[in-house]
Structure 1
């Protein structure tokens, strides 16, 4: 079984704005970026047809799924980006919350006010992967399964962490660019 985690394309938002689970638009270059993702995904699939398609509920992920011809993905909230709680849609340099420094000091374990920590996000992504692996192993020939997952950068990091590609402390040095495809073989 192969799980292809596909990060959404570039959003249309100013740098330095905390947008995690906010539903924001995509950049004007979306069509070009989506075609680039299509070409790389087609190569990665090697002629195989995806068995299942999943997406974060946010429009920036669903829109990419739809642009690639997958118009009815299964939406799963475990595929959402990190929840920044009260910091959503604020510029990091304008956040006055005293917890911000605590988060900067330990963003792996400290949650933004009203949000979640990276370790909490990683746990929900691990839950998604393990549940899917177990379900497909029981119901289908899992060795032939190709699963597409349209999602966010933090989810790609969490999937790599689950796969053991790097330790927790090094996760953020492995951030993927917009439109990246991360494939796990289970």
Structure 2
């Protein structure tokens, strides 16, 4: 099965802001970027999207409004850190998570294991026995989680997968 993992384009958030599941908008220069992304995708694909607007705007454009949203494709829930500057998060909160983001949840949020469990549930329930190509419009954390599963990469090494804004990653899954 052919899967295209598409990360949303840049958000309106300034650099250094933790925005996870906050429903933030996209920078205004996205229309040409959307066209460039669409040119990389097959015309006969089935589309799935995170329900956050930074993904649904792109999914709507790419699919001609023919896509399904799924909350399991949302970015990691950063709980108390949502919309906070990373460098202003108290070290006593941030450091334990930075040392073991895989297992340590953010205060009132998720760990990477939690996100990964959502993503695996999505794969197992939605992507079985598909013959058409699949396009998943989502976030860097979800894409990294999917790539860990597909390539058998340990979750602790998820950030070795660089995922740029607007990037399309094509994978083959049996």
TM-score (norm 2): 0.92
Cα distance in 1, alignment partners of residues 69 and 170 from structure 2: 19
* Match of residue 44 from structure 2: 49
CA distance in 2, matches of 1:59, 1:163: 27
Query: Taking structure 1 as reference, are residues 121 and 151 closer, same or farther at Cα in structure 2, changes over 3 Å only?
Result: same
Q: Judge conservation of contact 2:47–2:63 (CA < 8 Å) in 1.
A: no
Normalising by structure 1, what TM-score?
A: 0.86
Where in structure 1 are there 5+ consecutive unaligned residues? none
CA contact (8 A) 2:21 2:77 kept: yes
Note the C-alpha offset of 1:94: 1.3
Tell me the equivalent position of 2:110: 116
C-alpha spacing 1:184/1:126, structure 2 compared with 1 (3 Å): farther
2:23 is the counterpart of 1:18? no
Note the C-alpha offset of 1:97. Answer: 6.9
**Matches of 1:69 and 1:132 in 2, distance apart?**
18
* Separation in 2, partners of 1:83, 1:38: 28
Measure, in 2, the Cα distance between the counterparts of 1:145 and 1:93. Answer: 44
Structure 2 unaligned residues grouped into runs of 5+: none
**In 1: Cα distance, 2:44 partner to 2:157 partner:** 34
Aligned to 1:32: 32
User: Do 1:53 and 1:70's aligned partners in 2 also have CA atoms closer than 8 Å?
Assistant: no
For 1:53, what is the secondary structure of its paired residue? Answer: strand
Q: Report SS of the residue matched to 1:40.
A: coil
- Further displaced range: 17-26 or 70-79: 70-79
Map 1:122-141 onto structure 2 (within 5 A).
122-134=116-128, 137=129
Deviations for 1:3-53, whole angstroms, at most 9, x for unmatched residues? 222110111111110000001111122112112211222xxx2xx511x21
Give CA deviations for 1:77-124 in whole Å, capped at 9, x if unaligned: 000001000110000111237321111111121111011011111111
Partners of 1:149 and 1:53 in 2: CA distance: 6
Larger radius of gyration: 1
The answer for the alignment partner of 2:149 in structure 1 is: 162
RMSD of aligned alpha carbons = 1.6
